[in-house]
Amino acid sequence: MTYPLEGLRVLDLSRIVAGPYAGRLLSDLGADVVKLEGPEGDMARVWGEQRHGLSGFYTQQNAGKRNLGIDLKAAGAAELILRLAETTDIVIENFRPGVMERLGLGWDALHAANPRLILMSVTGFGQTGPNVGRQAFAPIIHAESGLIARQAHFDKFSYTDPILSIADTNAAMHGLIAVLSALYQRESTGEGQHVDIAMFDAMLATDDYSHHALDAFPVRRLGGEIWDATGGPVMIAGEFRSTWVVLRNYVEDPAPPDADLPEKERLRRVTVGAWLNSFPDRQSLLTALEKANLAWGDVRTHEEAFATSQAEARGIIGEIDDRAGGVRRVVQAPYKFSAAEAGVRGPATHRGEHNAEVLADWLGMSPGEVADLTEAGVLLTS
């Protein structure tokens, strides 16, 4: 079996999360993804555990890509990128609006070099609107999109940022959908296009509670509730009233018929809590929840989740070369195809590791030409 995107070429000029994650997924799907890094390197190189010069964060977002070290501000760098763009299907960038233009690599220049090229630009607030140009990492978008305030309201706790870059990953995946759509359209039009992805837009579009704000309808928590239970906490999906409708077949209703609704719910909650703690062991509890047809979940640590038999059966953990003769674990892309392969296809790399290889593959450049560009300060190595 082959990879679905085999043969596609991608230039990844992005850094940290949103752009690199999109590039990583394209690589896992078979594209030849070449990451470009400048003198400062990707900030993600310093986050997480360092093993043999590669951080955990950088490794997770960039495994499987090849790497070109290029100083985009050096004389001749823009011309080299435009030559690469002539042979490229997709360019990914997440600079602030206007930066690519100042580098001589804006949409007009890229489109002129290759009319079939698709450019995906990921920014906090997009290429238009009053917030163009603002710095916007994921926590900023979590705050501006309403996520933090809503979570604090329902948790009755202070404002805190989720320990997850939701805005980045939402933007990356929406960006991939848009890019793959543009690729499909290119088959009939022959033309590429500029895909403008705003993290702010992606958060609002992916939020299944957005209808409450648009309809000015009071928000009700629908996701689920965590209960103390035999063997530890358990998540039960749905509102309490739905849980009670099911469990009233297994326990007696403690609420007097003339009690008001808040008092009925309080008494019923006490009864459900007692029932969840009445079992001799965890397995007996889980068997009872299954029999009642309630959707339940163990509240696990992140480490425990990766150690489950479910994670093993799904092959969600991949192993790559740690660049020192051993292996390092990374999360696999979650795609399972009936007639295609997907998954991490190589290790994370050092800056400029594939300068000669990529330029020979894509441009037919000789070792002498690569050496000249290195001497001129256009090409960089770690």
Number of domains in the chain: 2
pLDDT of 1 above 90: no
Residue range 339-360: mean pLDDT, rounded: 97
Instruction: Give domain status of residue 371, yes or no.
Output: yes
Asked about 168 being catalytic, the answer comes back as yes
Shared domain for 82 and 143, answered yes or no, is: yes
Q: Encode pLDDT of 352-381 as tens digits.
A: 999 999 999 999 999 999 999 999 999 999
Shared domain for 195 and 170, answered yes or no, is: yes
Residue range 338-346: mean pLDDT, rounded: 97
Shared domain for 22 and 160, answered yes or no, is: yes
Instruction: Give domain status of residue 287, yes or no.
Output: yes
Instruction: Give domain status of residue 214, yes or no.
Output: no
Structural domain boundaries enclosing 295: 224-304
- The whole-chain average pLDDT of the chain stands at 97
Shared domain for 56 and 182, answered yes or no, is: yes
Instruction: Give domain status of residue 154, yes or no.
Output: yes
Shared domain for 286 and 331, answered yes or no, is: no
Residue range 98-127: mean pLDDT, rounded: 98
Instruction: Give domain status of residue 155, yes or no.
Output: yes
Residue range 309-320: mean pLDDT, rounded: 97
Q: Encode pLDDT of 192-228 as tens digits.
A: 999 999 999 999 999 999 999 999 999 888 889 999 9
Among residues 304, 324, 356, the one where a domain terminates is 304
Shared domain for 194 and 271, answered yes or no, is: no
Among residues 304, 332, 359, the one where a domain terminates is 304
Active-site residue, from 32, 42, 168, 196: 168
pTM score: 0.94
The CATH number that applies at residue 16 is 3.40.50.10540
Residue range 60-64: mean pLDDT, rounded: 98
Shared domain for 343 and 295, answered yes or no, is: no
Shared domain for 280 and 337, answered yes or no, is: no
Instruction: Give domain status of residue 128, yes or no.
Output: yes
Instruction: Give domain status of residue 37, yes or no.
Output: yes
- CB count within 10 Å of CB 72 equals 21
| pLDDT band at residue 382 using 50, 70 and 90 as cut-offs | confident
pLDDT of 131 above 90: yes
Shared domain for 270 and 166, answered yes or no, is: no
Among residues 282, 304, 326, the one where a domain terminates is 304
| pLDDT band at residue 18 using 50, 70 and 90 as cut-offs | very high
Instruction: Give domain status of residue 4, yes or no.
Output: no
Residue range 333-348: mean pLDDT, rounded: 97
Shared domain for 176 and 273, answered yes or no, is: no
Shared domain for 200 and 332, answered yes or no, is: yes
Shared domain for 110 and 179, answered yes or no, is: yes
Q: Encode pLDDT of 144-167 as tens digits.
A: 999 999 999 999 999 999 999 999
Residue range 300-305: mean pLDDT, rounded: 96
